[in-house]
Amino acid sequence: MSILKIAKMGHPVLLKTAIPVEDPGSPDILRLIDNMADTMIDACGAGLAAPQVHVSLRIMIFHVQNDRAEHNEESMSLRVLINPEIKILDAKLDVDMEACLSIPGLVGLVPRARKIYYRGHDSSGRLIEEEAEGFHARVVQHEYDHLDGILYPMRMTDLSTLAFRDELGRSVINPEQSNSNNE
- State the catalytic residues: 143
Contact at 8 Å (CB) between 144 and 84? yes
Helix (H) or strand (E) holding 95: strand 76-99
| Residue 159 to residue 101: CA distance in whole angstroms | 19
Helix (H) or strand (E) holding 100: none
Nearest-5° Cα angle at 151, 85 to 119: 10
SS3 135: helix
